[in-house]
Structure formats: structure tokens, C-alpha cells
Structure 1
Amino acid sequence: MALTKLFNDFFNSEKAGGLVLVACTILSLALANSAWQHDYIGLWHTDILGLSLEHWINDGLMAIFFLLIGLELERELYVGELSNLKNALLPVLGALGGMIIPACIFLFFNFRTPTQSGAGIPMATDIAFSLGILALLGSKVPASLKIFLTALAVIDDLGAIIIIAVFYTGTLSVINLLIALFVFGILLLLNRLKIHNLIPYIIGGIVMWYFMLQSGVHTTIAGVLLAFAVPFGDGSIRSPSYKLQHVLHKPVAFIIMPLFALANTGIIIHVNWYEGFADNNSIGILSGLVAGKPTGIILFCFLAVITGVCSLPPDVKWKHLFGAGLLAGIGFTMSIFITQLAYTNETTINSSKFMVLIASLISGILGFSWLKSVFKRD
């Protein structure tokens, strides 16, 4: 199966970006547990125009990350793997299973407890890390498996966006939300009028982001809405959507995501760090990501195939799909992001982040080892 240049660019940038994320995470953990701990943690709470530096990264720069995710999803829907309903159903249903089962496992341990709001944490998949590890396996990886995992991760992020909008919105300001949606409507009108200059969309996106921030709805939603307002056209290299997506790949992979990792993985590891492994929140996150993700993905895909709803791609086998399911358990970015929204208690946030890192590490090692063994035997 031939892969488009843009998909290859996306895949390759995620591969390199994943390695940079690993380095930034290790650096952040080292600094947060060093003699510079106070200064390092304090750095991210520096006030800039009324918001902390961490807030600007999580609510500002991450909106750009979701803009890129939205553009990728739009391309998949129009001309990519998701443009054909039968092809789209496999990753769509797989992603659905990969969200429902982990959430159910988490709630099994945390229902009606103070931590039940963390059900969204094990539902997420980190695109950069999962694709980065898949890329490390080299040329033996079937093209369809790359596309399946990419589509699944993108749909997974869309699910996370919906979860954030529905369950993690605080006090809602209806007036500000309506203004943001009004701006979105204007951008859609510009799209319909075939105005392809990106400047009005960027300015409108910034205005929409501001009013979304004031509304209480998380600003990442503004990034996704802007993506679907930018004209897609014929999807060629001349289209505004292609140009913007191409421009954003490198800054997102090598600036925004590393900054997010540095700002959000400064986890202080206490002497008795292992004691938190036994609480229901930690068990829910670990079992949801490591076991729930592959179980949900395989179960829903299997049901879809045996009922004739869709079929496996010719170059993909069930053992390949299981490996992809294991890699989908790498929650990292989105899981940490949802942790920040789900909890307010710093101790709970810190222990949850640590467990996300542990679960993501286990999922990454298991997924890589499984697929390496599978490809060696093929």
C-alpha cells in the first residue's frame, strides 16, 4: 500500500518527536528530584499576563497541538484511511473499544470514590510515543498497521477532546461560549466563500481561543474547531489545510510537545513512592492502560470482523493488531493532560502522573517486544 508524502512526513516527525519526548521526560524527572527541585517546579508557575507558564503551555500551546490533530483527522476523513466507510470502521471501532474498556476497568476500582473523575485518564493514546516505537521496528511493519495505529490514535484523541468538552468543563460562561461559536461560524462562512488566505483563519482562531478560555470550555476545543474551518479544498499541496498541517509538524513535534513534557512531568518521587501503587486510582490507571487498551481494541475489532461489518487489511494479522493494541496503552501526553483536568489535589495529580509514566513504559516495552518477536518470525 502506497503511503502519501504527508502521511510519511507525519509518521517520521512523530518518530523523531517521540525520542525527543523521552529525553525531555527524563530531564524533567531528574531536575524535579535534584537540588534544583524548588527552582524547577517554581519556573512553571511563573506568572505571565495573569496565567502561569504551565497554564500557557497546557491551554495555549496545546490548542495548537489539537489544531494539528484536527487537520490530520480532517485529511483522514476526506482522502485518507477514514474516507472509505468500510476501511474506517476497523480503527473507529478499535478506538471505541480502547476507550470504553479502560474506562470501565478504572471505574470498577474507583466508582463512587473521590477519584472516579479520572476515568478519562486510561482512555487516551499518545500519538507521538506509539508511532515512534512502531517506527523503531523498521521496514517490516506493514503499511496498513501504521495507518491503523495512526487512525486509531487520531480517533482516540478525538474521543479525548469530546470527553474534555463534556466531562471536564468547569464553570460555563454561555455568553463567551456563544461568542466563540459565532467566530467559528464566521470562519466557516469564509470557508464557504472559498477564501483560502490563512491569515483571517489564524486571527479568527486566536479570537475563538480567547473566548473559549473565558467560557470555561477547554481551549483545545478551539484548536479542533479551527482545523475544520480551514479550507481543505482538493487536499493538494496548494490547499490551506495541507500548508498549515505541513508547517505545524515540526514546531509541534520539537517545541510544543517537549515543552508540555517538561512542564507536566516534573514529578517529585518520594522515598515511599511505591506505596501509592496499591491505591484504587493507581490500579485503575495501570490496569486500564496496560490491559484495558489491548483488550478493548482486539475485542471490538474481532466482533466487527466476525459479524462482517469490516475486515482485516490483507497485510495485517491478529497478532499485529494485538501489538498495536499494546502500544495504544501508551497514554502519556493525553493521559497526563486529562489528569490535570480531572483532579485538583496535588498529591493525587502527582501520583497519577507517575502511574501514567509507569503504565506507558510497560505498554511501550510490551508492544515493542511483542511486535519485534512477531516480525522476526514472519
Structure 2
Amino acid sequence: MIYFYRQSEKKKSQHRSFSGVLPQINLDKHVEFIEIPAEDERAGLTATIQRYHSLWFDPSEKPLWKLVIVNGRHALFVFDHFVTDGRGSTYILESLLEALNSPNEKDGDSPIVDITTEIKGYPERDPVKCSGKGPSVLFAIMSYVTFWCLQLFYRGTDIFFHDAVYQERELVFSDPKKEDNLTVTNLHTLRLDADTMHRCLKACREHQTSFTSFLHTLIKVTLAADFYPKAKFSHSETVIDSEIPVDADTIWKIARKHKAHISNDLQHKKSWMKAWQAIDLIGEDEEDYVSQFAPGLKLVQKYAFNVSNLGAFENQAGSGPWNISNMEFSAGAIKAGYGVNLSFNVSGVRDGVTVVHVNSEEGSLPSDFVASLVSRIEKRMLAVI
């Protein structure tokens, strides 16, 4: 899939984005084999992944993905969000594992591959349309007013990431200043071995919560206690003042409340769905995206962090010799001031290592901020479990 711009169907002075499918792709332009030193490989692929976060695709020339094979053992799938999301990318890696264990001898050596759209699930149904209900103008207005009021009343040291550095800029579709606005991702990693994850999951079950809510709570507690002790507000409206080691009962109580809040919203309140549906209230042109969506994203995420957990994956597919011993997921940083300041991306292999990648925009936070945060989160985790 590719995308390209054409003149808007409604406003001749504006533009609209269209998607398309190329009839063929050349795998020589999409698959890359690289070698890294053995000591770098033993330390993990964090440096390699960070480097490929700076890979920018030309959306109209070829599909927006690349498969990088590192030292013949690691498959790094690099892709634009337009192609798929974190969970979608795992299907591709699962398909790769199946193909390695069941090779098709009939496939030739030509790198040119014919593409067909006659496949199950294509085109994918727009998830915003799946609910069967339209967007709520009242919900959109209330959400905007709520976050506007929060930023009006909570300022400076009252809020997380008040010290983040970013440049105010005017976004204009016709003059994107691409080179000036490219985001450079800084990446830090927390690796949890199989024994630590086993103890984490056992403790989470005992305390009626999930690993995602547990990790989210540890992040929030560490930011509040160690980095922003004067903060009075965060997006979850939870502030804790503690030291390492921590009050485990309080940690588990907050984690349970976080899990219950998410479950209630998924099943009953459904504010997540209303937020997605509100996208339909934005115009379809690219200029509308720049003038309406980007400011709203900035308002909601300016002082936030997020956690995205893809879960644990089975390490085997078929009876062949290949298996997955390690699975990692990392999303590129969003421009500081417009998106979350930190993104925690989690994935792992069942009964194996779980990896947490933490990204931020280069220069937006103090040089030792994320490394110190990750270290303190790990210490609290080990103390609690």
C-alpha cells in the first residue's frame, strides 16, 4: 500500500490523501541484511532499533516498510503507522516464522513479487464505523473544554513533564518544513527475564490486576515520587509521594483501580469509542487535519505518557527448526509538544523475556531522565513482587 495527495473534491485550494496498491513490489528495495558486532548483539538491539526509527519513507514511491535481517538471526520489521499498527505487525512476523518452517520450493529467485488484493479481510473495515453509532458533538466539545480547563488551572510544577523542551511551531500543510520537523527518537530498554515476569504475573493475579495496569501504576508512581513531587495532576489523577522501597499495598490498590477503570470503559462507559468517533467530525482534507486534529492532539497529550502492551506470543509455529525466542516492539517518538512525552511499548514471548522500550524525542527531556526513570521503575517492581 502507498498513499498520495490529490486536489480536494470539495475545496479546490486544499488537498486530500488517497491510498493505493502497487501491482508489484521489488523485495530488493524492502529487505536488507546487516551485520552488527557480537558485543552489540549481546547487549540487545536497542541501538539498532533506535537507528531505524530515523528511517523516513517516501509514501508515493513504494510501500512504507522494510525488513532488516540482523546477523542472520534477528528479523526487524520497520514500518510506517499507515501500513499497520503494533499488533498488526506481529501477524507479519508470525507469517514469516510459518514460512521459514514451511518453505515453498516453487517460489523462484526473482525479487519481483506480484501483488493481489484478493485476500481475506481486504479492504479492512474502518474501525471507527464498527460501532454503528455516529460521533457525538457534545462529547467532543466537553472533552476539549475539560482538557483546556485542566491546562488553564494546572501549570508549571503542578503537572508532569512541565520541564519538557519543545519548539512552538505553526503547522502548514503547504509548507511542512520537513527537514526542520523530523523527530529523532531516543530509546531506552527494560528487559525482564522469565523469572521476573513469572513473579510479576503471579503477583498481578493475586491482586486482581493486569501487568499493563501494574506497569502503568509503577510509571505514574515513579514520576510522581521521584521526578515531579510537587505535581497535583496527571491524566489518571493519581499522585503518590513515596520512596524506594514503596508501600506495596498502595501500589496494588492503584493498579486494581486502573484495571477496573479500563475494563469499565471498554465494556460500559466507552469513552474510548466516543473519542475515536469524534475523528469523523474533522474535515477529510489534509489542511483540516493540520488545523483541527493536530491542535486537539496537542491539547490532550502534551503532558502525558502512554503504555502499549502487545502481550506475550507463542514461540513456535509448525514443526520446523525455527522459533521466536525474543519479541520486541518500539514506536517512534511523537514531536514534543504535540504528542506524549514518553511512550512505553511492551511485548514478549510466553515463558520468556518481556521487553519494555521507552521512547522520547531527542532533546525534549534531560539527558539522564529516561535512564533514571527506567532504573527506578525496575527497582520498585522488584521490591513489590
Band of TM-score, shorter chain: under 0.3
TM-score by length of 1: 0.24
Higher share in strand? 2
The structure with the largest alpha-carbon Rg is 2
- Where relative contact order (Cα < 8 A, 6+ residues apart) is larger, the structure is 1
Normalised TM-score (structure 2): 0.24
Considering fraction of residues, name the structure with more helix.
1
